[in-house]
Homo-oligomer: A and B are copies of this chain.
Amino acid sequence: MLNFRIIFRIIGFLLLGEAFTLLLPLLFSLIYGEADCLAFLYSAALCTVAGVVLWFFSRKARRVIGKREGFLIVTLVWVIFSLFGSLPFLLSGAVPHYTDAFFETMSGFTTTGSTVIPDVEILPHGILFWRSLIQWLGGMGIIVLGLAILPAFGIGGMQLFAAEVPGPTTEKLSPRIAETARRLWLIYFLFTGAETLLLWVGGMSFFDAVNHSLTTLATGGFSTKNASIAYWDSPFIHYVIIFFMILAGTNFSLSYCMVTGKYKKAFSNEEFRYYLLFISLFTVIIFLGLLLSSQPDVEKSFRDALFQVVSIMTTTGYVTTNYLTWIPILVILLFSLFFFGGSAGSTGGGMKIMRVVLLMKDSYYELRRMVHPNAIIPVRFNKRAVPDYIITNVLAFFMFYFIVFVFSTIIFTVFEPDLDSAMGAVATCLGNIGPGLGNFGPVNHFGHLHEISKWFLAFLMLLGRLELFTVLVLFSPGFWKK
């Protein structure tokens, strides 16, 4: 029997936290004297009531959390946070339909960045800030979950080299979790502050600088401008954002190493090296492609190539140029990046660099195993042999990612008959990126989709953000038994 009480208790507690964060946008509503004040007050009140009720009725909960409770809590948190987080959009009238408000909020908390809002520039500042804040919180949530909480509970779904803590655990672990979480918060704050400062210096308004810092560090991609980063024609701003996107797509444990001066340790990390390698490789190819095909401006070609490669690979989703106008091979090259994703332990979505590298290595080693069938050739990562069960898990992850992508594309074509658009929408939502292909390119939005498609894409965002398994185990028959 699942310990539902502890699940409710934790969610109740977290809802009180969400209620608090719902008050933060009030600052901007008051500064700019805009009418969305009340929307946040009402939303915070509703959220508080729900939190208190859950907290009160679960007060007799046994303080034991097993793996299954863990899976359920994580999934429920994202869903319930989105349910309540969509209230300000709805109550302020910024997004009049609930489906749209939920899509926008889920796109926020999952750090996807796909939007249903045709014109964001007419939104009040409080609402714009809330959009950015939920991405920032979602990004934070993923790092703390992936690097502090889940490893402590021995849940390996989101953390490849999870510490193996068997069986149900109690709150004894909390000091260790709290210490790790504190450090992560620290550098997350630090980076956000640093980027805000630099963007402000670079010529953004303070408000825009804050918002874009929040959504950069979360690899979210919501912007306060319809044209996204293309609004600013400033190389400095572009390069600052590129730098912080790269940081956001890096394992935050490594960033902590770097901040504390352990550069050598960080740069000897294999995932980090491959991450930089992939970025360089794709940038060079696309840069040359742009030079040869259309753009004569060398610096602009390089910047566009680098910006879009980093933006897509880290799953941020900002745009400085409409990449759909590139020659087809460059578009498809960029589309293949939809399946890479950030590093493990970063705010980036997608398959994750570590998985991609392990898949490539294992496939390559399989060729060597065929020629030398009696030799034992383990895959090595960071100079250690990777255990078989991790390889199996990574391969199964890839299979699921592929199956989900294909089936979702098929289902999606019921409402969106164009194959490119369907593939793009599914890949961008599953990978938590933002813009897609065809009708959902960088200059389009998702507002005109059928309602069912919006719920479906929101589900894909959740699935991708929680790295499939965390959500999919809930559908496996063994999960609910006993």
Which chain A residues have a beta carbon within 8 Å of chain B's beta carbons? 67-68, 71, 154, 156-157, 166, 327-329, 332-333, 336, 359-360, 362-364, 366-374, 388, 391-393, 395-400, 402-403, 406, 409-411, 413-414, 417-420, 422, 469, 472-473, 476, 478-479
Q: Are A371 and B156 CB-contacts (below 8 A) given A388-B388, A395-B399?
A: no
15 A-B pairs besides A328-B419, A368-B478, A398-B402 with CB distance below 8 A are A329-B410, A329-B413, A329-B414, A332-B419, A359-B399, A360-B399, A366-B396, A366-B400, A367-B476, A367-B478, A368-B476, A371-B478, A372-B478, A392-B395, A395-B396
Q: Can you give 6 contacting A-B residue pairs, CB < 8 Å?
A: A156-B373, A332-B410, A367-B476, A368-B476, A369-B393, A419-B420
Contact A399 B472 (CB under 8 A): no
Which of these, B364, B393, B411, contacts A366 with CB under 8 Å? B393
In the bound complex, what is the Cα–Cα distance between A262 and B7 (angstroms)? 56
Query: A166 to chain B: which residues have CB within 8 Å?
Result: 373-374
Whole-angstrom distance from the CB of A258 to the nearest CB of chain B?
Answer: 32
In the bound complex, what is the Cα–Cα distance between A414 and B370 (angstroms)? 33
In the bound complex, what is the Cα–Cα distance between A67 and B417 (angstroms)? 48
Contact A371 B329 (CB under 8 A): no
In the bound complex, what is the Cα–Cα distance between A327 and B422 (angstroms)? 14
Contact A409 B374 (CB under 8 A): no
Query: A154 to chain B: which residues have CB within 8 Å?
Result: 373
In the bound complex, what is the Cα–Cα distance between A418 and B331 (angstroms)? 11
Query: A473 to chain B: which residues have CB within 8 Å?
Result: 367, 370-371
In the bound complex, what is the Cα–Cα distance between A154 and B388 (angstroms)? 24
In the bound complex, what is the Cα–Cα distance between A206 and B457 (angstroms)? 55
Whole-angstrom distance from the CB of A140 to the nearest CB of chain B?
Answer: 25
Query: A395 to chain B: which residues have CB within 8 Å?
Result: 362, 392, 395-396, 398-399
Query: A411 to chain B: which residues have CB within 8 Å?
Result: 329
In the bound complex, what is the Cα–Cα distance between A332 and B414 (angstroms)? 10
Q: Are A371 and B413 CB-contacts (below 8 A) given A391-B392, A392-B366, A396-B362?
A: no
Q: Are A363 and B332 CB-contacts (below 8 A) given A370-B156, A473-B371, A478-B371?
A: no
Q: Are A413 and B328 CB-contacts (below 8 A) given A336-B406, A392-B391?
A: yes
Contact A370 B157 (CB under 8 A): yes
Whole-angstrom distance from the CB of A388 to the nearest CB of chain B?
Answer: 7
Whole-angstrom distance from the CB of A289 to the nearest CB of chain B?
Answer: 10
Query: A332 to chain B: which residues have CB within 8 Å?
Result: 409-410, 413, 419, 422
Contact A410 B336 (CB under 8 A): yes
In the bound complex, what is the Cα–Cα distance between A364 and B417 (angstroms)? 30
Which of these, B372, B409, B418, B469, contacts A367 with CB under 8 Å? B469
Q: Choose among A362, A371, A374 the residue with the greatest number of B CB atoms under 10 Å from its CB.
A: A371
Nearest neighbor of A476 in chain B, beta-carbon distance: B367
Query: A413 to chain B: which residues have CB within 8 Å?
Result: 328-329, 332
Whole-angstrom distance from the CB of A288 to the nearest CB of chain B?
Answer: 13
Query: A419 to chain B: which residues have CB within 8 Å?
Result: 328, 332, 419-420
Query: A402 to chain B: which residues have CB within 8 Å?
Result: 398, 402
Whole-angstrom distance from the CB of A203 to the nearest CB of chain B?
Answer: 37
In the bound complex, what is the Cα–Cα distance between A402 and B395 (angstroms)? 12
In the bound complex, what is the Cα–Cα distance between A369 and B419 (angstroms)? 35
Contact A363 B410 (CB under 8 A): no
Query: A333 to chain B: which residues have CB within 8 Å?
Result: 410
In the bound complex, what is the Cα–Cα distance between A472 and B364 (angstroms)? 10
Nearest neighbor of A470 in chain B, beta-carbon distance: B370
In the bound complex, what is the Cα–Cα distance between A80 and B393 (angstroms)? 41
Contact B362 A328 (CB under 8 A): no
Contact B392 A476 (CB under 8 A): no
Whole-angstrom distance from the CB of A421 to the nearest CB of chain B?
Answer: 10
Contact A362 B392 (CB under 8 A): yes
Q: Are A399 and B329 CB-contacts (below 8 A) given A67-B371, A372-B478, A473-B370?
A: no
